[in-house]
Amino acid sequence: MSDGGGDVTDGGKPGSPEPGASARTPGGRFDTDRLIMAFGGPVLALGVAVLLTSVVLLLSGRNPVEPYVLMVEYAGNADIQVNILNRSTTYYIAALAVAVGFRMNLFNIGVDGQYRLAAVIAAIVGAAIELPAPLHVLAIVLVAMLTGAFWAGIAGILKTTRGVSEVVSTIMLNAIATSIIAYLILPAQFGEQRGNNLTTGLIPESGWFPGFDTGPGGVIYGFIVVAVLLGVLYWLVLNRTRFGFDLRATGASQSAAAASGVDAKRMVFTSMVISGTVAGMAGMPVLLGDSHTYSLVFPVGVGFTGITIALLGRNHPVGIALGALLIAFLDIASQTLDFNGYEREIATIMQGLIVIAVVVSYEAVRRWGLRRQQQRVGEELAAQAAGAAGGNSQNLSKGASA
Amino acid sequence: GTSTESSGDKGAAIAYDVGGRGDQSFNDAAYAGLQRAQDEFGWEGEDLEPSDGESDADKASRLKELARQGYNPVIGVGFAYAGPIAEAAEAYPDTTFGLIDDEQAKGDNIVNMVFSEEQGSYLAGVAAAHATETDVVGFVGGVEVPLIKKFEAGFVQGVKDTNPDITVKSQYLTQPPNMNGFSKPDLGKEAARGQLDAKADVIYHAAGLAGQGVIEAVAARGEWVIGVDSDQYAQKTLAPYKDSILTSMTKDVPDAVYELIKSVEDGDPQSGVVRYNLETDGVALSESNPAYKEMTDLTAAVAKAKEDIIAGRITVNTTP
Amino acid sequence: MHAIVGENGAGKSTLMKILYGMQKPDEGTITVDGEQVTLHSPADAIARGIGMVHQHFMLADNLTVLENVVLGSESLHGIGGKARAKILEISEAYGLGVRPDVLVEDLGVADRQRVEILKVLYRGARTLILDEPTAVLVPQEVDALFDNLRELKAEGLTVIFISHKLGEVLSVADDITVIRRGTTVASVHPRDVTSKQLAELMVGSELPVPETRESTVTDRPVLTVEGLTVRIHDAEHGHRTVLDEIDFTIHAGEVLGLAGVEGNGQTELVDALIGLRHADAGTIRLGEEDITGWATRKRREGGVGYIPEDRHRHGLLLEAPLWENRILGHVTEKPNSNGYWLKPKEARADTERIVEEYDVRTPGIEVTAASLSGGNQQKLIVGREMSHTPRFLIAAHPTRGVDVGAQAQIWDQIREARHEGLAVLLISADLDELIGLSDTLRVIYRGRLVADADPATITPEELGTAMTGAASGHLEHEEGPQDARPGDDTDGAQNEENEHE
Amino acid sequence: MSTVVTTKPTPPPSPHQRADRRRLTLAQWMLVIAAGLALFSAVRLITDANGITSTGQVSAALRLAVPIGLAGLGGLWAERAGVINIGLEGMMILGTWFGAWAGVQWGPWTGVVFGIVGGALGGLIHAIATVSFGVNHIVSGVAINILAVGVTRYLSKFTFDTMEGGTEKQSPPIDSITSITVPGLSDWMRDLNNEHWFFVSDLAGIVGGLVTNLSLLTVVALLMVPFSWWVLWHTSFGLRLRSCGENPTAAESLGVNVYKYKYLAVMISGGFAGLGGVFLAEVAANIYQEGQTGGRGYIGLAAMIFGNWMPGGMAMGAGLFGYADSLNLRGGGTNVHALLLFLAILLALAVVWEIYRRKWVTALVAGVTGLGLFAYYLSVDEVPSQFVSAAPYVATLLVLALSAQRLRMPKANGRPYRKGEGK
Ligand SMILES: Nc1ncnc2c1ncn2[C@@H]1O[C@H](COP(=O)(O)OP(=O)(O)OP(=O)(O)O)[C@@H](O)[C@H]1O
Ligand SMILES: Nc1ncnc2c1ncn2[C@@H]1O[C@H](COP(=O)(O)OP(=O)(O)OP(=O)(O)O)[C@@H](O)[C@H]1O
Ligand SMILES: [Mg+2]
Ligand SMILES: [Mg+2]
């Protein structure tokens, strides 16, 4: 649990702390060890993933380099960059939601369901009410947050009162959310049929979140600002508040946290609710910035991508941002592979390889760091002891001769 | 990129809906239309698949990219492209955009290719009502979305108009946005078995690939199944079961796509809503199964119903 | 019978693990029966007749005794009836009283110890390694164990055993090797050395004594516990009462020592006092306030300090830096935070102070707790708890696994605080420590306080008798040969529950 | 010898303690099941929803349960050795692809073998990552799930797409595996079932469903449940494997090669998931189909947790999912409506039980839920199809909420283990 919040996944738990990054060298100066700890993992991982993907390409008789070039070139287009940015905004919030859980060893697979349910209810409410501009947006976001919190809270309650594993209950709740949504958007309920699509009706313009128009590139969701603030808030709360300390402590060692005065059950419930609240906001960039309604074509599976990204970003807000950009880049830029006769599944394979490579290399670097630190502690102590040897030697010799 | 590049020499492009090529449903059908045009006009063309969980913006940029590269026309398969096509059509006014299964997006350079599936399904209902001996028939839909409900509505009306005493069992495999119902044959199989156990002896499916499970289950019991989208009697993968495929409700997407491309090639692009219904043979019942043609009562009734619909004596509902 | 002694971390366990093939030596040779061997894994060692009982139990809780015993040596007698017969036979022969079909989690420590020994015997070991087998046993059980070992020795087996209790070592060992910092510093015969000399060999300095001279006990009650009852309800075990009507009062400046065999309710008592377990009946008062319903945090804020029994589980975040560990448990208090916001700078500065004052051997406060040695970790915990000037301190095994130097320091800290009016509940398996440090002694047995004694006069043996349940009431020191009537049951409450429905 | 140990004449007297552990005997289990069935039957008679225990329903439930159960067994094997396997879904996908690929070319049984191998390959990757590299188990599982999707899609473009009758998303048809129907018995049971008598017809429906139109692969899959139980609990291999999930350091100290057993367990786990995949491709359908597994790996994991990491319990969990799925697919509206009543009655019983145990809050929650269900039961004639598809998940949540606290997972499950680093 370093102050910088740099987190790795160790063997046991997805959210446990990273010793190395926090290990400012005893004197407090930066050194190569620390640099290796911070950048070794990701760089090694990307390299390995790219290498392995190239091997796959070679094996199937394809050019092993061109796909990357194509993708990078494609991402040079302004509108593609805007798309990548917009999509990573959604991913980012979803991943933050997952990360909140991970930081205390809760595995919220239910982010997807929370996100979808929150988007539907927020869309229904948003279309039904009329408020002046900023308030309307605020109301919609609030509804989304509450819905997400409620849906995750069910899993939280089941875990704290009945001991139901959140992994199982959130899988179930995802499926149940699907049914509820299907019911809610029926024309007989709150839905509207538009052609072959079902929607929840259009939110009036007062409920739209203004974006940044880049001209030819298109509009960047204004919600990106909220996402950034959310990341800052996440960092502040986790690293600078007593609540965050409790949460991280619970993640690092449930038993130690309990003995330190953290009410573990309440913590589980609270963090589940927070995770759900954030998950509820994940649908807002698209809802408020683009679609202005929930329909059958609203993006799905965002919560699962969020899991991948939270893992890639090691639950750190900056790491998650990079992870979200990377995955969004692979998702969107892989489009160009189709244009050029490559299979775009290459990007999916690469995503899988990146995840594996990243965690393996993080783990390798983490172990290396831990060993290295112990060694240094040992060495420094030995050096100290040697320095003080004059005083001790008498005792020692006396002991030995007795 | 500017619209002046769209000279048409790169040919047509298709952007698929979820499922993409190989869905043996309308994505494949659209591709068939593209292929026909490729053969005729000699260009390569392009077809692109969506990625999982993408938003409208991603679809829009896919369409724009195609237009930017000079493809014309650019065709979006499925109602999911309604919003994106409206956006892309505005950005590239000289490119013609085709939109299958939706008439919401409007524009001078947008062609809405819509099908009256309910009319064809009505005929399927008439056929089923004549073919049944147990007075129980079934409908299996892939995912409970409005498009598929249109099939159900026409089918039920066709059956009831023919014989109100017949029971129609309706079953959907999954609820949106869980689109598994179009791709899990095992679900189709169990649903069909359930209806067969409930004495249904004719089952109409609108379940995409999952429909293969329906067909397999029905064929195993030697009852009748009615296929969908293309003439499933003629499909190679279904050859072992073809004797049980009474007929299929075909939706002539290939032709619609081809006609659009041709109009662009001919320099006189279509525009606005182009409706494919019984009158234009855009939807129809296939007749390739000899056993079907032998049922003269049935074929006569179907022909009569078709006439009545075309003449406007019968209006078919689009929702159940 | 060969004894190995050395201070904590001297390398005793490491050496034994090498002998048992669990770790590889960098250099040197091992010779078994005159033949030089290389041991790659425990399997090699077992094949050569070496068996080891580890310092920490190596048992799978959710497997039965039989499964634990046959594991890895299924080829000997299978895993069914034949194995069961063999186990019963060995158990009979050495009087181990092992029941093959119970789950290990249902056994008390002494029973587990016997299972461990049986595991080794089952494999036909000729050389037995026992790593601190007596740490968790009461004196009577220790005697019994040594009788067992003597019997094994009579049958020609070799026993290597490790112990910190020098009296034991001197009374049973035929040879003693002393190691320090990973090297042999002496090989001696028990008759040539006194326990004091041996200790000095081990540490290279004089032994500290945990004695409290003058009494500082006041008549101001700090902690009053009345009728405290805790029951455990779970699906696996049903209902059982683990603490039964506990009453005691600790006054300012008083150290109350609690003696008892592990598993007789000490853990539950500590949990109930710190608020990790809720009381089914009874009250706990801190000063004038009734804290029975308070949450752990509120109790800690109210002045309860806690040195946990298991520092890794309850005292530290192993992979967090020292300064964050300094915050742990006191996150709401100064200097760590002002109410809601943390103050890392102040926390860091205060950690530096603790490191300095409590002589935590570390190169800095940014290193993780895991990289400190156990003793230094413990010093950090003691420093942390003392920094908040508690009114009442729960000290569970405060010097367990800590070397003699650090031990003395910790004792000093406790004495000093006691002098200033701190009330301490001291729990320890080390009876010398208990007797030396306490002002009052109580004995817990099967969840009840069954006896009390005056630390000024009582001997460890007498205390041990009460711990087995064989004596109760006020224990008076008797001169002359002690009547060590062993109880008929030596495992505690874990094994037996007092039904209260 | 006068030692404490030996003066202890008999083992410690703790007769009550064992009695406190509620472990039902086989007979008691049978009784509980029979009572459940009787209640079920009563509900059927009250509501006239004969579908809920019809032969077809049960037989469909079985077919739908098998892939879930196989995935669940996969999870069980891995977790018993201490490795969490959330990559089951991916291993299942590999199973469908490899099974179909080989099945199309060399016949269904070769397909079965290849499917198992494909799943086991996924398991091998998981084992390398988690056991050798000590990577977090969940992360590795998630990565395998992504990877499996990418790899199978990619491979399909080079294989199925070029085959006659296949596309890039679908394989050509695979020859089917023989199905058996126990002659006589099957018909007899069906007739009995059609009588709609109390209890007897329900029992007949269940037995009939289990002997009708049974693919040989279903038989194999069913046998895997007792087989797993036997191997894990009655062989030394199983003992060693389980010891790695309970206390690997102890196992290591007795000469057990923990890495080896973990590797084997995770590969076997993948093999089972792969078999589940093959079942989907060859029995449930007769083609490989992209997206065919549809989250069944996760459901299998849920079934295993539901079953308390025991094969029998896991099979019950899988059965519950299969049954609820089959309800959903076979005109669920009326049947699920009937089951609302069943659930309400069960909850009423739970209320009584919790009151007896003085768990007032639980009783209250169960009571309110039960009343809610009952009110809903009365207010509608048929459950909307949207809610029918939620039935399996709601049922599972309810069952877990009523029983989860008894769950016990292997102690070292999910923990990293390094040789020689144990304390
Ligand atoms: N390979 C190694 N390199 C360096 N140090 C090591 C190595 N292996 C063990 N150590 C250290 O050597 C010391 C010896 O530990 P060991 O457990 O053997 O002590 P011990 O004498 O048994 O102490 P205790 O009385 O506490 O049981 C420990 O500090 C341990 O961390
Ligand atoms: N590979 C290594 N090389 C050098 N020093 C090491 C190495 N590994 C660990 N150390 C250091 O050696 C010390 C060993 O800590 P350990 O907990 O094993 O101590 P210990 O000897 O058991 O002491 P205690 O009796 O206080 O528990 C630590 O300070 C650790 O940082
Ligand atoms: Mg040791
Ligand atoms: Mg140590």
pLDDT in tens, chain C (501 residues): 888 887 666 778 788 888 888 888 888 888 888 888 888 888 888 888 888 888 777 888 888 899 999 888 888 888 888 888 888 888 887 777 788 888 887 776 677 878 888 888 888 888 888 887 776 666 677 777 788 788 778 888 888 888 767 777 888 888 888 887 778 888 888 888 877 777 777 766 555 565 656 677 788 888 888 888 888 765 445 567 788 888 888 888 888 888 887 677 888 899 888 888 888 888 888 888 888 888 888 888 888 899 988 788 888 888 888 889 998 888 888 887 887 888 888 888 889 998 888 888 777 788 888 877 777 888 889 889 888 888 899 998 888 767 667 778 888 888 888 888 888 999 987 777 888 888 888 888 888 888 888 887 877 777 777 777 677 777 776 654 444 333 333 333 333 333 343
User: Sorting pLDDT into bands at 50, 70 and 90, what band is D48?
Assistant: confident
Residue D413, min C-alpha distance to chain B (Å) = 32
For ligand 1, which residues put their CB under 6 angstroms from it? C 6, 8-14, 55, 373, 401
Count residue pairs from A and C with Cβ separation < 8 A.
155
Two structure tokens written together for A385: 């002891």
The pLDDT of residue A37 is: 66
pLDDT at D88 over 70: yes
pLDDT at A371 over 90: no
Q: Alpha-carbon distance A305 to A94, whole Å?
A: 8
pLDDT at A11 over 70: no
Mean pLDDT confidence for A326-340: 86
pLDDT at D272 over 90: yes
For A9, the closest of D139, D147, D298 (CB atoms) is D139
| Structural contact between residues D173 and A382, judged by C-beta atoms closer than 8 angstroms | no
pLDDT at D26 over 60: yes
Task: Kindly give the number of the ligand 1 atom that is closest to the alpha carbon of C17.
Answer: 18
User: Sorting pLDDT into bands at 50, 70 and 90, what band is D421?
Assistant: low
What is the residue whose two structure tokens read 């290591």?
Answer: D252
Cβ of C6 below 6 Å from ligand 2: no
Q: Percent of chain A, pLDDT > 90?
A: 32
Residues of chain A neighbouring C352 (CB-CB closer than 8 A): none
> Considering only CA atoms, which residue is closest to atom 5 of ligand 2?
A378
pLDDT at B14 over 80: yes
Two structure tokens written together for D405: 């606290």
**Ligand 3 centre and the CA of D153: distance in Å?**
54
Residue A236, min C-alpha distance to chain D (Å) = 26
| Structural contact between residues C65 and C107, judged by C-beta atoms closer than 8 angstroms | yes
- Chains within contact range of chain D (3+ C-beta pairs < 8 Å): A, B, C
D53-330: CATH class: mainly alpha
Q: Do B53 and A305 touch (CB under 8 A)?
A: yes
What lies within 8 Å, CB to CB, of C56 at 6+ separation is D423
The pLDDT of residue B118 is: 92
Mean pLDDT confidence for D216-223: 92
Query: Which of A54, A111, A161, A164 is most worth mutating to test chain D (most D CB atoms within 10 A of its CB)?
Result: A164
Task: Kindly give the number of the ligand 2 atom that is closest to the alpha carbon of A381.
Answer: 29
Q: Alpha-carbon distance C463 to C486, whole Å?
A: 12
Tens digits of residue pLDDT in B228-239: 988 889 887 788
Residues of chain C neighbouring A394 (CB-CB closer than 8 A): none
For D60, the closest of B144, B169, B190 (CB atoms) is B190
Q: How far is CA B210 from CA C369, D115, D206, D274, in A?
A: 58, 22, 27, 21
Mean pLDDT confidence for A15-27: 39
The pLDDT of residue C444 is: 86
The pLDDT of residue A34 is: 64
Query: CB contact, 8 Å: A13 with chain D?
Result: yes
Name beta bridge partners: A213. A219
| Structural contact between residues B271 and B47, judged by C-beta atoms closer than 8 angstroms | no
pLDDT at A35 over 50: yes
Of residues D162 and C206, the one with the higher pLDDT is: D162
The pLDDT of residue A156 is: 94
Name beta bridge partners: C179. C184
User: Sorting pLDDT into bands at 50, 70 and 90, what band is A344?
Assistant: confident
Per-residue b or e along C87-124, where b marks 16 or more CB atoms closer than 10 Å to that residue's CB: beebbeebbbbbbbebbbebbbbbbbbbbbbbbbbbbe
Residues of chain A neighbouring D153 (CB-CB closer than 8 A): 343, 345, 348
Q: Do D330 and B187 touch (CB under 8 A)?
A: no
> Considering only CA atoms, which residue is closest to atom 14 of ligand 1?
C11
Q: At residue B261, what are phi and psi to the nearest 5 degrees?
A: -60, -45
Identify the weakest region by mean pLDDT among B111-125, C26-40, D20-34.
D20-34
| Structural contact between residues D176 and D282, judged by C-beta atoms closer than 8 angstroms | yes
The pLDDT of residue C477 is: 64
Query: Which of D124, D125, D146, D153 is most worth mutating to test chain A (most A CB atoms within 10 A of its CB)?
Result: D146
> Considering only CA atoms, which residue is closest to atom 9 of ligand 1?
C14
Two structure tokens written together for C87: 């186990």
Tens digits of residue pLDDT in A101-156: 998 888 888 999 999 999 999 999 999 998 898 899 999 999 999 999 999 999 99
Q: Which ligand is closest to the CA of C14, given by its number?
A: 1
Q: Do A402 and C203 touch (CB under 8 A)?
A: no
pLDDT at D148 over 90: yes
Mean pLDDT confidence for B178-201: 88
Q: Do D56 and B183 touch (CB under 8 A)?
A: no
Residue D12, min C-alpha distance to chain C (Å) = 6
The pLDDT of residue A32 is: 65
Q: Closest-CA residue in chain A for D302? A: A168
DSSP states of D123-186: HHHHHIIIIIS---HHHHHHHHHHHHHHHHHHHHHHTGGGSTT-BTTBPPP-PPPPEE--TTHH
Q: Do C71 and D240 touch (CB under 8 A)?
A: yes
- Quote the distance between the C-alpha of residue C233 and its chain's center: 26
Residue count of chain A:
402
Identify the weakest region by mean pLDDT among A71-85, B45-59, C422-436.
B45-59
Q: Alpha-carbon distance A194 to A172, whole Å?
A: 30
Residues of chain D neighbouring C17 (CB-CB closer than 8 A): 420
Identify the weakest region by mean pLDDT among A363-372, B6-15, B139-148, D315-324.
B6-15
**Ligand 3 centre and the CA of D423: distance in Å?**
9
The pLDDT of residue A389 is: 52
The pLDDT of residue C483 is: 41
The pLDDT of residue D279 is: 95
* Alpha helices (H) in C58-137, listed in sequence order: 65-70, 74-77, 81-93, 109-122
Q: Alpha-carbon distance B257 to B278, whole Å?
A: 17
User: Sorting pLDDT into bands at 50, 70 and 90, what band is A12?
Assistant: very low
Q: What is the mean pLDDT of chain B?
A: 87
Mean pLDDT confidence for D309-315: 91
| Pairing status of strand C175-180 against strand C2-5 | parallel
Q: What is the mean pLDDT of chain D?
A: 83
Two structure tokens written together for D285: 């359908």
C-B interface (Cβ pairs under 8 Å ≥ 3): no
**Euclidean distance between the first and final Cα of chain A, in Å?**
47
* pTM for this predicted structure: 0.83
**Ligand 1 centre and the CA of C401: distance in Å?**
12
The pLDDT of residue C55 is: 72
Q: Do D405 and C499 touch (CB under 8 A)?
A: no
DSSP state of B315: -
- Domain residue spans of chain D: 53-330, 333-380
The pLDDT of residue A401 is: 35
Tens digits of residue pLDDT in D99-131: 999 999 999 999 999 999 999 999 999 999 999
Interface of C with D in 89-118 (CB under 8 A): 95-99, 106, 108, 110-111, 114
DSSP states of D217-269: HHHHHHHHHHHHHHHHHHSHHHHHHHHHHH-HHHHHHTT--HHHHHHHHHHHH
Q: How far is CA A69 from CA A51, A65, D251, in A?
A: 14, 7, 51
**Euclidean distance between the first and final Cα of chain D, in Å?**
34
